[in-house]
Amino acid sequence: MPPPVSIRRCDALTAFGGVEDTWRRLSAGETALRPTPVLGPGGGDLVPLALLDPMEAAVPPRWWPRLSELVSPVASPEWGRPRTPVFLTSSNFGIDNLCAYSQTPDPAFLAWGLNSSCAERIRGELAWGPNVTVLSHACVSAHLGLHLAAQNLHAGLADRALVVSFDFLSPFVAAGFNALKILNGHFPAPYTPRDPGAVGLGDGAAWAELDLAASPFTLDHIVLGNEFHHFTANRPDGLGFENLLGPIASAADPNSLWIKGHGTGTTEAGRLEATACARRFPGSPLVSWKGGLGHTLGSCALVELALALASFRHGSAPGTVGTSGPTFTPEVATSAVNLARRRSALLLCNAFGGAHGALFLRHEA
Amino acid sequence: MKLERSIHAAGHRALSTDAGETEALRASFPANSMRRTSRLGLAMADLWRGHQAGPDDTIVYASVYSETRALEDFLRGFPRPGPVHFQTSIHPAGIQQALVPRQLPVASFFPLVAGPRAAAQALGLALLQTSETAWVAAAEERGTWLLEAGAASDETWALLLKLGSPETPGLGTVSWDTTATSNPGGTATLADLRQSLQNRLPGRFPHPSGGCVTLRWHSAP
Over the stretch A245-257, which tens digit does the pLDDT of each residue have?
Answer: 998 998 888 889 9
- What are the pLDDT digits (tens) for A298-327? 999 999 999 999 999 999 999 999 999 899
Tens of pLDDT along A92-114? 999 999 999 999 999 999 999 99
Interface confidence: ipTM more than 0.85: yes
Going from the C-alpha of A325 to that of each of A266, A278, A334, the distances in angstroms are 15, 18, 9
Residue B192: band (very low, low, confident or very high) from pLDDT cuts 50, 70, 90: very high
Helix segments in chain A, DSSP class H: 19-27, 64-70, 95-103, 107-113, 115-125, 141-154, 171-179, 239-249, 267-280, 290-293, 300-314
Tell me whether residues A107 and B100 touch, CB distance under 8 A.
no
More confident residue, B183 or B195: B195
Task: Give the model's pLDDT for residue A254.
Answer: 87
Q: State how far Cα B129 lies from the chain centre.
A: 17
- Do the chains contact at A229 and B100, CB–CB below 8 Å? yes
By the 8 A CB rule, do B219 and B173 touch?
Answer: no
Is A45 a residue whose pLDDT tops 80?
Answer: yes
Half-sphere exposure of residue A212, counting CA atoms within 13 Å on the CB side?
14
Cβ-based contacts of A101 with chain B (< 8 Å) = 149
pLDDT band at B35 (very low <50, low <70, confident <90, very high): confident
- pLDDT of A23 > 80? The answer is yes
The pLDDT value recorded for residue B187 is: 80
pLDDT-derived band at B118, boundaries 50, 70, 90 = very high
Q: Which residues of A touch B113 (CB under 8 A)?
A: 93, 115-116, 119, 134-136
Q: Which long-range contacts (C-beta less than 8 Å, at least 24 apart) are formed by B19-27?
A: none
pLDDT above 90 covers a percentage of chain A that reads 95
Q: CB-CB: which of A44, A102, A119 is closest to B113?
A: A119
- Choose from B60, B90, B130 for mutation: most chain A CBs within 10 A: B90
Helix, strand, coil % in chain A, rounded to nearest 5: 35, 25, 40
Cβ atoms of A103 and B205 closer than 8 Å: no
CA distance A140 to A90: 9
Nearest to A133 by CA among B212, B115, B176: B115
Across chain B, what does the average pLDDT equal?
A: 94
What's CA A168's distance to the chain center, in Å?
12
Q: Select the residue of A179, A225, A226 nearest B86 (Cβ to Cβ).
A: A179
What is the Cα–Cα distance from A218 to A212, expressed in whole angstroms?
9
How would residue A225 be classed by pLDDT, with cut points 50, 70 and 90? very high
For all residues of chain A together, what is the average pLDDT? 96
Closest alpha carbon within chain B to A106? B149
Q: What is the pLDDT of residues A212-223, one digit of tens each?
A: 999 999 999 999
pLDDT at A49: 98
Residues of A with Cβ-Cβ distance to B121 under 8 angstroms: 133
CB atoms B115 and A119 under 8 Å: yes
pLDDT, one tens digit per residue, over B3-32 is: 999 999 999 999 999 999 999 999 999 888
Output DSSP code: residue A186: S
Question: Which pLDDT band, with edges at 50, 70 and 90, does B76 fall under?
Answer: very high
List, for residues A132-188, the tens digit of each pLDDT value. 999 999 999 999 999 999 999 999 999 999 999 999 999 999 999 999 999 999 999
Task: Indicate if the pLDDT at residue A365 is higher than 80.
Answer: no
In angstroms, the CA A261 to CA A273 distance is: 7
Interface of A with B in 171-230 (CB under 8 A): 171-172, 175-177, 179-181, 224-230
d(CA B184, CA B192) in angstroms, rounded, equals: 16
- Above 90 in pLDDT, residue B176? yes
Residue B182: per-residue pLDDT: 78
Task: Return the H-helix or E-strand segment holding A342.
Answer: none
pLDDT at position A1 over 90: no
Determine which of B59, B63, B88, B91 to mutate to test the interface with A (most A C-beta atoms within 10 Å).
Answer: B91
Phi, psi of B102 (to 5 degrees): -95, -5
How much is the pTM? 0.98
